[in-house]
Structure 1
Amino acid sequence: MPPSSSPAEVPEAETLIPSLPDDVALNILARVPRSHHPSLCQVSKAFRSLISSTDFFTTRRLLGSTDPSLYLTIRTNASPSFLSFTLQNRPRRRLVPIRPIPSSCIGSAYAVLGPELYVLGGSHNDVTSSRVWILDCRFNTWRLGPSMRIAREFAAAGVIDNKLYVMGGCIADTWARAANWAEALDPRTGTWTAVASPAEVREKWMHASAVVDGKLYAMADRGGFAYDPWKEEWVPAESELDNGWRGRACVVDGILYCYDYLGKIRGFDWGEGAWKVLKGVEKGLPRFLCGATMANMGGNLVVVWEGKEVIGNRKEMEVWCAEIEVRKDWDGELVGEILWSEAVLTVPFRSTVVQCVAVAL
C-alpha cells in the first residue's frame, strides 16, 4: 500500500476511536501485533489510512512494539528476475510474493538498516555494478539508493551505529578501487565515504560476513578479519572462528551460527573461543549438506533451506523454514528448541534461496 504522510489526513468525522483523541488512539493501535494489521485495515477507512502511514511505523518503533518480519530472495530458472517474498504467519505460515527487485544481480550483498533492506552491487551478464536498491519493508516498495563509489560483487556488508559498511568484492588494481575498497554510507546524508584499509586486507575475497559486538567480521579465502569502526582498526579474525565458519551465518545473543561440513548447526562462543554443536534439534532438522540460510528473527534462529523434489506433473521443490529458540544451558552448551518447522513455498525444481533477512516493523 502506498504510504500516506500522517494520520492527520484522516477526516475529522472519521476519528480513529470514538471519544479518544487520535494521538491516543495511535498510541494504542501501534501496539497491536503486525499479524493483526490486515484485520485492522478492514475496520474502517481511518484505520486503513493510519496503518499505511509512516507515522504509524515510527510510533511502533518508538514504543518498542515492532515485530520481526522475514524476507527472502529466491532465484529460479523460470524467471530472469529474482523473486522476493515475505513470511505470512496468519491464517497459516507461507511465503507470499512481493514486488521483485527491479534489477536482479548475482552476488549482491544484503544489509538491513531500520525498516529498509539494502541490496548492494552484484553482477549482470558479467558486468559488476555499483548500484544500490532499497526495499522499504513498511510498504514493500523499491527505490534506487545512492550508488557506491565502486562496483562490487560478493562483498561483505553490515550495519554498525546506523551506518552501512561495505568492503571488498573487487580487485584493488586501480587507485580508485584501492582507496574505496571499503566505504560507509550515512543514510541521513545519502553519502558514501571511503574507509581506509591496509594493503594486506585488500588482497582478500570475502565469502561471508556478520556484525558481532560492534565489529564487522568478514571471512575471506585466505584468512578472515574484523573491522572496528570506533577504533578504525583492522584485526585478523580468531583462527578457530576462521577455520569453522562455513556458508551464510547469523548472530543471535552474541553467538554466531552456521552449519559445519557434516551439515549440523554450530555456534561460535566468543567467550570460550570455541565452536559448539547446537543440541536438541537433531531429530527435527535435516543435515544441511547443500547449505542453509539463517537469520535472527526477534532473538530466535530462523533456518531456511531447499527441500526435496515434489512429485507431480511439473518438477517442483519445497522451500522449508524452521524457527528455533536458542539458549545456553547451565553447562555452557548451546541448546535449541524447534518452535515450528514446515514447508512455506513451492517453487520450480533447482531453485535457490539467495538470502533471507529479518526486518523489524
Structure 2
Amino acid sequence: MSTTTAMSTTTTTEPPSTPTQILIPSLPNDIALNILAGIPRSYHPLLTLVSKPFRSLLFSPLFYTTRSLLNTSQNFLYLCLRIPTTSSMQWFMLYQNPTKNSLIPLPPAPSPLVGSAFVAVGPKIYVIGGSINDIPSPHVWALDCRFHRWEAVPSMRISREFAAAGVVDGRIYVIGGCVVDTWAKSRNWAEVFDPKTEKWDSVDSGKDDFLREKWMHGSAVVNERIYVMADRSGVVYEPKTKKWDSVESGLDLGWRGRACVVDGILYCYDYLGNIRGFDVRTGGLEGAEGG
C-alpha cells in the first residue's frame, strides 16, 4: 500500500465581513461568528445540522478567515492511500485528540491518477499529473481542505507521471516526469505554477544531460532550494538565482524514495531501507534514531 501525506492549514489573511443571516438570536452576528469560529473542527459536522445559517457559514471562506485571525485554525495530516485490491486512491484526514485518533474518509479525486506529485499551498493540496492506464496526464486537481471539495486547476504544458514538485515563495515548481523527446518537452521539462494568477510558465533547465531524467524518486524543499532525486543522480534548483546544480555527494549516495524536512534536516531512505538525516548546512548524512 503506497502512502502520500501532506499537511494543510486554513491560514488566510483576507479581512472578514459580517454574515448576512442571523446566526444566534439575541447576539450580534460578529460576536456569534467569533464564538463559532472557536469551536474545534471535529464538531463542525454537528454544527452544520443545527441550522441553515450555521451550515452556510461553515461552508464559507469567511468562517475560516475568522478562525485564522483568531488563531483557532488547525493543522491536519492528510493521507492518500492506494488500496492494493482495487488500485484506487483513497483520501483521508487524520484527526487527533487526547483519547483517540480517527481517519476520516474524504471524497475521491475526480480522476484516478497513479504516480501524481503532491504539494500543499495554504488550504489546498494539489495533485499534479500522474497517469491513467499508463498514459501520462497534464491535469491538476486541488483539494480545498476547508470544505473537502475538489477543484480543477489549469493543466500543465506537458503530461507528466512520477514528477517532482516543491513550493517556494508560494509558487509550485514541477520537475521531470516526462521523456524529453521533443522541443516542447525539453523547454518545459520544469514548470512553475502561480496559484494567484493560475498560470503555468516554463523554467529554464539548461542543456545538461544529468537534468533529463524522466521519473523522480523523491523531492524536498530546504532553505528555498528544491532537491530532487532521479534514477541516476540528484539535482537541486534554486528559484531565487534560477540556477541548477548536482546535489551534494553524501546525499546523492544515500537518498532513495520519498523524503521530508524537519527543522532543516532532510530525512530519507537509503539503498538499504534505513532512514537517514542529511544536514544541508554541513553536508553530513547520519542515521536517524531507530533507522
Alignment TM-score > 0.5, same fold: yes
Q: List aligned pairs for 1:27-106, cutoff 5 A.
A: 27-38=34-45, 40-41=47-48, 45-79=52-86, 81-89=88-96, 92-106=100-114
* Structure 1 runs not aligned, ≥5 long: 288-361
Q: Does 1:228 align with 2:238?
A: yes
Match of 2:157 among 149, 152, 166: 149
Match in the other structure for 1:310? none
Q: How far does residue 42 in structure 1 lie from its aligned partner after superposition?
A: 5.7
Return the structure number with greater relative CO, CA threshold 8 A, min gap 6: 1
Match of 1:185 among 184, 188, 193: 193
**Cα distance change on mapping 1:262 and 1:44 into 2, 3 Å:** same
Q: Does 1:194 align with 2:202?
A: yes
Q: Does 1:239 align with 2:249?
A: yes
Question: Which TM-score applies when normalising by structure 2?
Answer: 0.84
**Cα distance change on mapping 1:260 and 1:145 into 2, 3 Å:** same
Cα distance in 1 between the residues matched to 2:164 and 2:59? 33
Question: Which TM-score applies when normalising by structure 1?
Answer: 0.69
State percent identity of aligned pairs.
Answer: 51
Cα distance in 1 between the residues matched to 2:185 and 2:77? 34
State the superposition RMSD in angstroms: 2.5
Cα distance in 1 between the residues matched to 2:246 and 2:34? 47
| Contact residue 255 and residue 271 of structure 2 kept, 8 A | no
Match of 1:107 among 97, 115, 118: 115
Cα distance in 1 between the residues matched to 2:69 and 2:250? 39
Q: List aligned pairs for 1:136-285, cutoff 5 A.
A: 136-200=144-208, 201-205=210-214, 206-279=216-289, 282=290
Q: Does 1:15 align with 2:24?
A: yes
Q: List aligned pairs for 1:323-334, cutoff 5 A.
A: none
The code of the aligned residue for 2:86 comes to: S
Q: How far does residue 167 in structure 1 lie from its aligned partner after superposition?
A: 1.1
**Cα distance change on mapping 1:204 and 1:29 into 2, 3 Å:** same
Cα distance in 1 between the residues matched to 2:256 and 2:204? 27
Number of residue pairs the alignment of both structures matches: 273
| Contact residue 40 and residue 47 of structure 1 kept, 8 A | yes
Cα distance in 1 between the residues matched to 2:43 and 2:287? 37
SS at match of 1:217: strand
SS at match of 2:181: coil
Q: How far does residue 83 in structure 1 lie from its aligned partner after superposition?
A: 1.4
Cα distance in 1 between the residues matched to 2:252 and 2:66? 41
Q: List aligned pairs for 1:285-304, cutoff 5 A.
A: none
